[in-house]
């Protein structure tokens, strides 16, 4: 890549913010808009949030608009229509949009009935007399143009910080949980086998977890099933640490074996695989009353509904019943000191009227609607519920091996203690309003 292209790309990476232009008379609306956009995960720059005392106002505004701004939003009103600063910002934004060939670089947010000036008369504006309706339309616009944004949780924390005007981290002893459950028992040795038969059954790993190291060799924690023992001959028993250090793909092979063992356990527990969405889920009727009983992180007995039905309305106002199943995906991870863990990722399986899995954007919209009220407590509880279900059979015994050669994982996640905590009341104070509709399609109730 040539130097000029690299510089151009670096500049574009910095242009990821939304610049808010406004008149001083509209400052309350600008602050409200800045908080809302920040809570949605967007980076916002404006004179109140970015400029420092003693800096040149005009030069800094120019720099923010030229080098930091992905789009320029102007609260257009009878005040901002003719004020010198807002006119200058509007003129610069239109010029930048022309230079960059981005016709919607400048987005007017029309606060009142003030006529648009001649230079923006043909510009598509967003009505902002009703703030929430205007914000909903603006968010859809930003989605459409792929405006960069952070995770929403980060945005809401930033917005709370802006709102409170103080640090939201408070001195308080607390415990932070992860969704990683330690694998407390890992076999000490691997069996290395050599294939002596010409053919072996397909989908062999479903009932014998193993990894092929080349065309006629395999490693496993288990001996082959009895009916396959004539197909494989034991070459040697290898220390697992030695194998991970010396074999070409030793560590990846062990991760693959652990994954196969967990997957085998899931299937034995009669969860069903959704191959389309690469996950496992609870079929209807597997558990009594479709309730998963478990002990939560606070030590109290509780339960989680694993199958249910939600209603949603199509764009034609037709009511549709939507069955859903709680499920999971998982990954095997390894911590820096070497311990393996199962990372549990809760998920949902949806089916349509024809019993086909719902996929893509429709699935994501329904999953988002079901989890929109989930906070840390709900997410942690369902992770523990899923781990408890899989851990009902606490250990997978290794055939013809010493009793210490077992595979098991903890029913409780990795956690760390801290002397600092997050003041969630400060964050929740700006998230209690009704959620904003960012879509024009189905609405979940």
Residues 265 and 286 in one domain: no
- Distance, CA of 225 to CA of 222 (rounded, Å): 9
pLDDT at 57 over 60: no
Residues 164 and 261 in one domain: no
220 located within any domain: yes
436 located within any domain: no
Of 250, 269, 288, the one marking the end of a domain is: 269
Q: Of residues 412 and 205, which shows the higher confidence score?
A: 412
Length of the chain: 445
Q: Is the dihedral of CA 282, 287, 290, 296 positive or negative?
A: negative
Q: Residue 50: which residues within 8 A CB-CB, separation 6 or more?
A: 60, 64
Residues 50 and 198 in one domain: no
Q: Please report, rounded to a whole number, the percentage of residues in the chain having pLDDT higher than 90.
A: 27
Residues 299 and 192 in one domain: no
Strands 106-110 and 126-127, bridge-based pairing: parallel
Q: Print the domain residue range for 305.
A: 172-182+270-392+405-422
Mean pLDDT of 228-242: 84
Q: Report pLDDT digits (tens) over 372-381.
A: 777 778 889 9
Mean pLDDT of 91-108: 93
Residues 27 and 48 in one domain: yes
Residues 27 and 151 in one domain: yes
pLDDT at 227 over 60: yes
Residues 309 and 249 in one domain: no
- Distance, CA of 56 to CA of 45 (rounded, Å): 16
pLDDT at 97: 93
User: Which residue do the tokens 């949806």 mark?
Assistant: 350
- Distance, CA of 382 to CA of 404 (rounded, Å): 30
Q: Is the dihedral of CA 133, 362, 37, 157 positive or negative?
A: positive
Residues 244 and 276 in one domain: no
To the nearest 10 degrees (0 to 180), the angle between helices 376-390 and 250-268 is: 80
Residues 418 and 290 in one domain: yes
218 located within any domain: yes
Question: Into how many domains does the chain fold?
Answer: 3
Residues 281 and 264 in one domain: no
What CATH number did the domain enclosing 136 receive?
Answer: 3.40.50.10140
The band of 50, judged by pLDDT with boundaries at 50, 70 and 90, is very low
What is the arrangement of strands in the sheet containing 69-76, beginning at the earlier edge strand?
A: 43-45, 17-21, 69-76, 106-110, 126-127
Residues 324 and 344 in one domain: yes
286 located within any domain: yes
- Distance, CA of 114 to CA of 56 (rounded, Å): 31
Residues 416 and 281 in one domain: yes
pLDDT at 77: 93
Q: Residue 79: which residues within 8 A CB-CB, separation 6 or more?
A: 23, 24, 25, 26, 86
- Distance, CA of 4 to CA of 254 (rounded, Å): 46
Of 113, 135, 168, the one marking the end of a domain is: 168
pLDDT at 9 over 60: no
Of 249, 269, 289, the one marking the end of a domain is: 269
Least Cα distance to 61 among 23, 92, 104, 25 occurs for 92
Whether residue 257 contacts residue 211, with contact meaning beta carbons closer than 8 Å, is answered with yes
40 located within any domain: yes
Q: Report pLDDT digits (tens) over 325-337.
A: 999 999 999 887 7
The band of 236, judged by pLDDT with boundaries at 50, 70 and 90, is confident
- Distance, CA of 182 to CA of 339 (rounded, Å): 7
- Distance, CA of 19 to CA of 94 (rounded, Å): 13
352 located within any domain: yes
Concatenated DSSP letters of 151-179: -HHHHHHHHHHHHHTS-SEEEEEEEEE-S
């Amino acid at each position: 890549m040539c130097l000029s292209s690299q510089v151009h790309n670096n500049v574009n990476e910095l242009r990821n913010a939304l610049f808010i232009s406004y008149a001083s008379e509209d400052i309350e609306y600008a602050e409200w808009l800045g908080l809302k956009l920040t809570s949605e995960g967007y980076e916002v720059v404006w004179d109140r949030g970015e400029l420092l005392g003693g800096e040149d106002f005009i030069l800094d505004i120019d720099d923010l608009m030229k080098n930091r701004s992905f789009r320029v939003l102007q609260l257009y009103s009878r005040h901002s229509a003719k004020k010198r600063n807002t006119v200058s910002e509007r003129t610069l934004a239109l010029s930048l949009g022309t230079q960059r060939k981005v016709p919607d670089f400048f987005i007017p947010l029309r606060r009142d009935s003030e006529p648009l000036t001649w230079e923006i008369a043909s510009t598509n504006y967003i009505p902002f007399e009703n703030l929430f309706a205007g914000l909903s339309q603006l968010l859809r616009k930003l989605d459409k143009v792929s405006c960069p944004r952070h995770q929403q949780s980060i945005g809401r924390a930033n917005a709370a910080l802006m709102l409170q005007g103080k640090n939201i981290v408070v001195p308080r002893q607390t415990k932070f949980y992860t969704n990683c459950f330690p694998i407390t028992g890992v076999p000490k040795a691997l069996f290395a086998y050599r294939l002596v038969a010409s053919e072996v059954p397909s989908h062999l790993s479903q009932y014998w977890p193993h990894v092929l190291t080349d065309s006629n060799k395999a490693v496993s924690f288990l001996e082959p099933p009895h009916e396959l023992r004539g197909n494989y001959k034991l070459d040697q028993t290898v220390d697992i640490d030695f194998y991970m250090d010396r074999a070409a793909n030793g560590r990846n092979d062990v991760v693959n074996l652990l994954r196969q063992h967990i997957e085998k356990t899931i299937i034995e527990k009669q969860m069903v695989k959704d191959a389309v969405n690469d996950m496992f889920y609870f079929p209807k009727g597997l558990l009594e009353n479709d309730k998963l009983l478990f002990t939560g992180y606070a030590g109290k007995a509780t339960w989680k509904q694993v199958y249910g039905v939600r209603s949603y309305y199509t764009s034609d106002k037709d009511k549709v019943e939507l069955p859903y199943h709680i499920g999971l995906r998982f990954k095997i991870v390894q911590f820096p000191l070497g311990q393996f863990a199962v990372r549990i990722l809760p998920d949902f399986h949806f089916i349509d009227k024809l019993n086909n899995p719902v996929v893509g954007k429709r699935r994501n919209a329904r999953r988002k609607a079901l989890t929109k009220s989930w906070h840390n407590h709900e997410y942690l509880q369902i992770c523990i519920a899923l781990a408890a279900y899989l851990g009902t059979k606490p250990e997978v015994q290794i055939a013809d091996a010493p009793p210490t050669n077992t595979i098991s994982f903890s029913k409780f996640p990795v956690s760390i203690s801290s002397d600092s905590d997050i003041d969630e009341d400060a964050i929740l104070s700006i998230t209690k309003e009704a959620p904003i509709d960012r879509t024009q399609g189905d609405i979940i109730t």
